[in-house]
Structure 1
């Protein structure tokens, strides 16, 4: 059985899985925690020790959040590609620097294997121009490559295909809204298997309310803070690390938020209301973009495990054909499942995501691509 080692290097941890790309079976998986900026070499040594019983490794796949305009498809890594990835770090400051450090360490740990980067932005590389384009000076936007790149693309790709398969339909025949809700959160409108809009933008700051990120806000707020004497670094810290649920309620983990809300904490209650209001607004917007949806799918840690969020986010949408059946929604279950009433015009699903399996499949497809079939980026 040929397997792929999938590595997701974060700012303080390295998650890994040895995945069978044909079935999605994880032969080995784990996480090395408390990794600092200089500790990725040691972390990868720990990974190699834990996967040493996997002699059939075909390749190493790396999750990279942002590929910028240079990388729009999975890419075989070499020194030049890694250097270019390092230059895109400002577009995903919470994620890309760690990914690059992890890639360098992994290439040293596994020098005899091909390494492939799979980008969260790749699924959204061919967004329609009207969705990808910001209404700013055209020449500046083209020079600086300012556009909507999106994120969580590996999850949106996997889940949209899995949702269609679960319903016994071809993905090309399904119009759907996918809500990936975790510490980071994003929405996507997907027509026939291809995205036509998504909530994250140039960076992962835009869109839904997240654990530490505000999502949509008036750009004038940023200008106001700068004119008021805050430095760029201070504003960056605020928007990436001290906003969202943390900024509103003092906690970034949704489980903690729900506990505080249940105990009567007013700040947690308001944060919950802001969160679900933003979700509902995006669902409504994407219904308009798609001209109606066959499916609305929840995924990610919050989307899969917080029935209260699912119910609240879709409250009041019955006239649009979207409802949640309380008993189905509240039932504890694993795997894909329907949570809408029988006969509802729009099917509401919960579908667990599997980004590692998606990455493993993308790695194999990339390595099997015929030479000369097109650019790697």
Structure 2
């Protein structure tokens, strides 16, 4: 039996878990009040604060400081193939100097320090910048604007492996479409173990979502940028943070929107159906990216818990391939699964280059 520590810092929280093989034996999640975080001007300055929290949480819980491996959420690294990576000095350098600030950048740094103290290996797995795009998928039509691969790689690959196991097949032998339905929405085409195409779920591409605009009319966006109505920061916020459902309806709460739609509110119904429609179109595009040879379409993420949304989506995509619903997002379990796979020799351990 392997003991695995999982470390997953978010923008306002830190999640910890200890697994024995795939069985969680301890979990803890703490919310960091905005007042506490306000004293830090940059994410990197939170390192000692987060390290102290992890150490004290383990001590208070009486967790023996002995693990077979520590695995952390992947941060904003350079584009890289998916899989499990050993945390090394090159990776740590890139995380300290990441082009985008995010709490996930601290995860591998914390894992490496604790692993060195405990004499065990430290890993990350399937960071959001996982990039396995086909060459033809990278061209956007403007050479200065290549398409980028930023998506829910960890959960998308984890549910793919989970589905493959349920049908007694290898993930690497299947063609799958995974629609991760959350605050951001990514739809990825998995061809024999590689994500050959996916929408950039962070910076404005693909379906609109509860808080992101997705693909928008390019000429109209340019005109809006130069209209004088918005600053550059405000335009970026329209694309990620204040776009999608919240822009139309003032809320990102899909459950509330569904209740309004059921109550007969025409605007809520229309906007919700429009979001689902954009997801369905992206699934159709990924079906083409798999040469229309899709074994299954997996619907996952938090919104996949909503039966009404799933029923709307089914109306558009029924007939393309088998539809499988695996709701939620178990990042901690997915990380533990990847670490165990390496420890048992079932998954290769890769080096960050």
Q: 1:74 to 1:191 in 2, by over 3 A?
A: closer
Specify every segment of 5 or more residues in structure 1 that has no aligned partner in the other structure, as ranges: 91-95, 323-345
Deviations 1:284-312 (A, max 9, x none): 22222221422111111111x11111110
Q: Quote the residue 2:332 is aligned against.
A: 356
Runs of 4+ in 1 over 4 A off after TM superposition: 70-73, 102-111, 364-369
Distance in 2 (alpha carbons) for counterparts of 1:184 and 1:47: 30
Q: Is the 8 A contact 1:7 1:17 kept in 2?
A: yes
- Going from structure 1 to structure 2, the CA distance change for 1:65 and 1:280 (only over 3 Å counts) comes to farther
2:229 aligned with 1:224 = no
Query: Structure 1 residues 189 and 70 mapped into 2: Cα distance closer, same or farther (>3 Å)?
Result: closer
Checking the alignment, whether the CA contact within 8 Å between 2:179 and 2:187 is kept in structure 1 is: yes
Corresponding residue of 2:7? 7
Aligned to 1:302: 303
- Alpha-carbon distance between aligned partners in 2 of 1:349 and 1:234, rounded to the nearest angstrom: 38
Report the counterpart of residue 376 of structure 1 in structure 2: 352
How does the TM-score come out when normalised to structure 1?
Answer: 0.77
Shift of 1:272: 0.6
Give, in whole Å, the separation in 1 of the partners of 2:90 and 2:301.
Answer: 33
- After TM superposition, list the pairs within 5 Å mapping 1:215-364 onto structure 2: 215-229=214-228, 230-290=230-290, 291-303=292-304, 305-318=305-318, 321-322=319-320, 346-352=321-327, 353-363=329-339
Where structure 2 has 5 or more consecutive residues not aligned to the other structure, the ranges are: 41-45
* Matches of 2:91 and 2:141, distance apart in 1: 31
Match of 1:34 among 32, 35, 57: 32
Write the deviation string for residues 136-177 of structure 1: whole angstroms up to 9, x where unpaired: 22xx56xxxx54223111111111121122123333443222
Deviation at 1:281, TM superposition (A): 0.7
* C-alpha contact (below 8 Å) 1:161/1:193 kept by paired residues: no
Cα deviation digits, residues 160-204 of structure 1 (max 9, x gap) = 121122123333443222111122221112223322221226x45
Give the CA deviation at 1:315.
Answer: 0.8
Q: Distance in 1 between matches of 2:11 and 2:113?
A: 19
Structure 1 residues 245 and 266: CA distance shift in structure 2, 3 A: same
Contact 2:81 2:132 (C-alpha < 8 Å) held by counterparts: no
Q: State the alpha-carbon separation in 2 of the partners of residues 219 and 65 from structure 1.
A: 29
Higher mean C-alpha deviation, range 166-175 or range 71-80: 71-80
Deviations for 1:14-56, whole angstroms, at most 9, x for unmatched residues?
Answer: 1222123x4x211111211135254534532453245542444
Note if 1:69 corresponds to 2:79. yes
Q: Which moved more, 1:347-356 or 1:206-215?
A: 347-356
Q: What is aligned with 2:124? A: 117
**Matched length:** 333
Q: What is the RMSD computed on CA atoms of the aligned residues?
A: 3.0
Say if 2:212 is the partner of 1:213.
Answer: yes
Distance 1:121 1:168, change over 3 A: same
**CA–CA separation in structure 2 for the residues paired with 1:298 and 1:73:** 21
For 1:99, the equivalent position in structure 2 comes to: 104
- Asked whether the 8 Å contact 2:86–2:350 carries over to 1, the reply is no
Distance in 1 between residues matched to 2:211 and 2:262, nearest whole Å: 21
- Cα distance between partner residues in 2 of 1:30 and 1:363: 19
Q: 2:140 aligns with which of 134, 142, 147?
A: 134
Q: Equivalent residue for 1:53?
A: 63
String of CA shifts for 1:61-84, please: whole Å, max 9, x gaps.
221253223676543335553331
Could you tell me how far apart the structure 2 residues matched to 1:219 and 1:54 are?
A: 55
> Per the alignment, in what secondary structure is the counterpart of residue 240 of structure 2?
helix
DSSP-derived class of the 1:84 partner: helix
Partner of 1:6, secondary structure, is: strand
CA–CA separation in structure 2 for the residues paired with 1:177 and 1:60 = 30
For residues 108 and 267 of structure 1, the distance between their equivalents in structure 2, rounded to whole angstroms, comes to 51
Structure 2: distance between partners of 1:168 and 1:70: 29
The SS at the match of 1:7 is strand
- Structure 2 counterparts to residues 174-213 of structure 1, below 5 A: 174-200=174-200, 203-213=202-212
Tell me if structure 2 keeps the 8 A contact 1:77–1:117: yes
Give how far 1:109 is off.
5.7
